[in-house]
């Protein structure tokens, strides 16, 4: 197709008014001159999915997720993503959450957290096309890390930035320096994609329970009792996992996609060879 005809095609794409310019149909010779009223002139190619204005709007229904409100509007092609360390649940943590639920039964509806983890980035919004490039960049930035140990400390109260949810989290006592280095590297990756960094003053933790709204004051008032219970549990069940060996990071992208990023196990094998 000649350059002139390509330009004509572009000019007519999205133009409702008919004209007698030379516009080729799909299998029509570019030399054929179309007449006024020719149907092919008015037939436009359908816009690609992502550009259509008439696409069905997504409506958020907080009832479907325990009243939680989204931090950002759901939009097709945008994937909520974050990097984290997965943590295995254990019985003592369940016991602690049951204790907290009972303690707060008259005041707040405290819910246990599922999928325990330590966040290393905020939840960022990623366009589909940036998923693979970002994952590759992260892999590059974190590949020099070896596996390390974290030890759990005391319970603290956290609120999300919008102050629509409050969390009870067990802060990481040991392993902070490595976590901070990881976060600095992850922040560099995110900045390459114009995505926001983690907190200036990170407090690495495993959220074990949450409730709706800003309940920081009321939960902080019962922290001494909660931490006393935690100390009892640590003493009674020393065999439970009060520490964790971090061997890899995960990147959660949307609901479905999870990619392994850091394989310290693999690096260790390389070094021992
Ligand atoms: P997470 O369980 O990692 O999602 O964390 C629970 C909440 O803690 C998040 O909504 C964060 O906004 C909040 N948070 C508040 N301050 C901090 C901090 N200094 N470091 C990490 N998370 C924080």
Q: Which domains does the chain have, with CATH numbers?
A: 3-271 (3.90.1140.10)
Q: Say if ligand 1 is within 6 A of residue 201 CB.
A: yes
Give dist(CA 174, CA 153) in Å, integer: 8
Q: Say if ligand 1 is within 6 A of residue 114 CB.
A: no
Q: Supply the mean pLDDT for the chain.
A: 77
Catalytic positions, please?
A: 117, 205
Per-residue pLDDT at 128: 87
Residue 61: pLDDT band (50, 70, 90) is low
Q: Which residues of 16-44 are buried (b: 16+ CB within 10 A; e: fewer)?
A: eeeeeeebbeeeeebeeebeeebeebeee
Q: Is 121 strand, coil or helix?
A: coil
CA distances, 190 to each of 117, 195, 209, 240, 246 (Å) = 20, 5, 28, 35, 22
Q: Which atom of ligand 1 is nearest to the CA of 200?
A: 19
Q: What is the distance in A from the centroid of ligand 1 to the CA of 47?
A: 41
What DSSP designation does 81 have?
E
Question: From atom 8 of ligand 1, which residue's Cα is the shortest distance away?
Answer: 158
Per-residue pLDDT at 15: 38
Mutate to test the pocket of ligand 1, among 72, 84, 119 (most ligand atoms within 8 A of CB): 119
Residue spans of alpha helices (H) in 24-159: 39-42, 91-103, 131-142
Q: Which atom of ligand 1 is nearest to the CA of 169?
A: 2
Higher pLDDT, 208 or 252: 208
Q: What is the distance in A from the centroid of ligand 1 to the CA of 211?
A: 14
Handedness of CA 172, 177, 178, 180 (dihedral sign): positive
Per-residue pLDDT at 139: 87
Q: What's the whole-model pTM score? A: 0.74
Q: What is the distance in A from the centroid of ligand 1 to the CA of 226?
A: 19
Mutate to test the pocket of ligand 1, among 156, 167, 182 (most ligand atoms within 8 A of CB): 167
Query: What is the average pLDDT across 113-118?
Result: 94
Residue 12: pLDDT band (50, 70, 90) is very low
Q: What is the pLDDT of residues 174-208, one digit of tens each?
A: 999 999 999 999 999 999 999 999 999 999 999 99
Residue with tokens 């229904």: 61
CA distances, 207 to each of 34, 101, 133, 213, 259 (Å) = 67, 14, 29, 16, 22
Q: Which two tokens stand for residue 101?
A: 């639920």
Give dist(CA 35, CA 76) in Å, integer: 40
Q: Phi and psi of 102, rounded to 5°?
A: -65, -40
Q: Which residues of 151-169 are buried (b: 16+ CB within 10 A; e: fewer)?
A: ebbebbbbebeeeebbbbb
Query: What is the average pLDDT across 13-41?
Result: 39
Query: Are 66 and 109 contacting, i.e. CB atoms less than 8 angstroms apart?
Result: no
Q: What is the distance in A from the centroid of ligand 1 to the CA of 159?
A: 7
Per-residue pLDDT at 240: 77
Q: What is the distance in A from the centroid of ligand 1 to the CA of 160?
A: 6
Lowest mean pLDDT among 16-20, 72-76, 210-214: 16-20
Measured between alpha carbons, how far apart are the two ends of the chain, in Å?
Answer: 59
């Amino acid at each position: 197709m000649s350059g002139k005809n390509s330009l004509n095609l572009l000019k007519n794409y999205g133009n409702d008014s008919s004209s007698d310019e030379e516009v080729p149909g799909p299998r029509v010779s570019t030399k054929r001159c179309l007449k006024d009223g020719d149907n092919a002139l008015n037939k436009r190619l359908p816009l690609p999915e992502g550009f259509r204005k008439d696409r069905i709007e997504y409506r958020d229904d907080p009832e479907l997720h325990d009243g939680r409100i989204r931090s950002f509007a759901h939009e097709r092609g945008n994937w909520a993503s974050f990097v984290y360390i997965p943590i295995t649940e254990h019985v003592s943590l369940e016991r602690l959450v049951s204790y907290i639920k009972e303690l707060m039964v008259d005041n707040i509806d405290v819910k246990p957290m599922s999928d325990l983890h330590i966040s290393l980035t905020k939840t960022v919004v990623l366009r589909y096309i940036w998923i693979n490039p970002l994952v590759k960049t992260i892999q590059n930035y974190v590949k020099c890390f070896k596996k390390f140990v974290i030890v759990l400390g005391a319970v603290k109260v956290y609120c999300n930035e919008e102050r629509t949810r409050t969390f009870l989290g067990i802060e990481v006592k040991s392993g902070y320096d490595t976590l901070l280095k990881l976060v600095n590297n992850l922040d560099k990756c995110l900045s390459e994609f114009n995505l926001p960094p983690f907190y200036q003053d990170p407090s690495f933790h495993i959220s074990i329970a949450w409730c709706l709204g800003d309940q920081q004051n009321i939960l902080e008032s019962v922290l001494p009792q909660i931490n006393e219970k935690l100390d009892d549990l640590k003493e009674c069940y020393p065999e439970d996992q009060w520490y964790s060996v971090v061997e890899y990071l995960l990147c959660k992208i949307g609901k479905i996609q999870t990619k392994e990023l850091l394989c310290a196990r693999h690096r260790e094998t390389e070094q021992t060879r």
